[in-house]
Amino acid sequence: MALKWKSKILLAKLETTYNTDAEPTAAANGILATDITLTPMEGSDVSRNLEIPTLGAQGSVPIDVHAKLTFNVELAGSGAAGTAPAWGPLMRGCAVAETITADTSVTYNPVSDDHESLSVYFLIEGTQFVLTGARGNCTIDFTTSAIPYLKFEYWGLFNQPSEETRVNPTLTAFKKPLAVTKANTPTFTLAGVSLVMRSLMLNLGNAVEPRFLVGSEGILITDKEESVETKVEAVPLGTLNPFTMAADQTDVAINLVHGLTPGNIATLAITKAQMQRPQGLENAQNIVEWPLRLVPIPTVGNDQWSLTLT
């Protein structure tokens, strides 16, 4: 029987002990995602390089085998202020802390140590792929006239796939998103200046390293270097001059608010981002736009950015 490509189920749960299967369940750990892709056996093949009397291919030995899973999740709140969204564990697996203030807010920010990990189950028809010890990277994407997304890349230790009974995940905790529009995204400022924005993307810039040694195998986040890319309508240089800012290594604040009702408002705040050299001008509907690049800089540490849901 042919396996249907669209028949996918994704489950993810935080691990208590690294690389010990957290056994996510359909009832509690279902993930509502789009554009799922799986590379089930990343790694290398080492040729045996045997000296034999005839010409021919050599056998090889697979090493450092691990899996990679990419997918997108719609960025929407939980519907209740102070209640973590269903995608919270996915952010936490990307070297991000989650801070809950009851009945008020949920805040995400980067952390340098004690990174959490996930066990991820991916089923297509009845074939189940399991990633344990999984850690990853995320890009937060606000693009005009589109759904805002959290774009995840996860790497995990390899486990042999198996045939399992299909489950029916509960996905009601994932709320419907609002498109990025003038009405739904009431605030976007750069250096305190309100600008007309086409898009903004924050890449968490995690260096995710599969590490395989005798006595230790794991997926580590060894560094991070966040970056921001945004496209805005150009303005007179007296209003905002990104060229002078780049030359002077100026740090600026970025603030974006998306959503309208309590429980569904997301605020992305970057308090200090260094303007990079503008790479050119763009023509969009015969309007000049600036593609701008910025690098978030820590002030006291682990404060390069925050995503707050209220």
pLDDT tens column, 265-293: 999 999 999 999 999 999 999 999 999 99
Distance between CA atoms of residues 143 and 145, nearest Å? 6
List phi, psi (to 5°) of 90.
-65, -40
**Residue 70 in tokens:** 């990419």
Neighbours of 6 (CB within 10 A): 5
Average pLDDT over residues 290-306: 98
Residue type, 229: E
Distance between CA atoms of residues 134 and 129, nearest Å? 13
DSSP H or E stretch at residue 145: none
Residue 1 pLDDT greater than 80, yes or no: no
Which residues, including other chains, have CB under 8 Å from residue 236's CB and lie 6 or more apart? none
Q: What's the confidence (pLDDT) of residue 245? A: 98
Quote the DSSP letter at residue 126.
T
**Residue 144 in tokens:** 């005009």
- Cβ contact 146:179 at 8 Å: yes
- Cβ contact 29:9 at 8 Å: no
pLDDT averaged over the chain?
A: 97
Query: For the whole model, what pTM was predicted?
Result: 0.96
Q: What's the confidence (pLDDT) of residue 251? A: 97
pLDDT (tens digit per residue) in 136-158? 999 999 999 999 999 999 999 99
Distance between CA atoms of residues 161 and 40, nearest Å? 9
Distance between CA atoms of residues 270 and 297, nearest Å? 9
Rg (CA), the chain: 22
Average pLDDT over residues 231-250: 98
Distance between CA atoms of residues 17 and 33, nearest Å? 26
Question: Where are any strands of DSSP class E within the chain?
Answer: 8-14, 34-47, 60-74, 96-101, 105-110, 118-124, 127-143, 149-158, 162-163, 187-190, 193-194, 197-203, 206-213, 216-224, 227-233, 251-258, 266-275, 282-284, 287-296, 306-309
Residue with tokens 């034999």: 52
Residue type, 23: E
The full DSSP string for 154-220 is EEEEE---EE--------TTSPPP----TTT--EEEETTEE--EEEEEEE--EEEEEEEETTEEEEE
- Cβ contact 308:266 at 8 Å: yes
Average pLDDT over residues 37-47: 97
Residues in the chain: 310
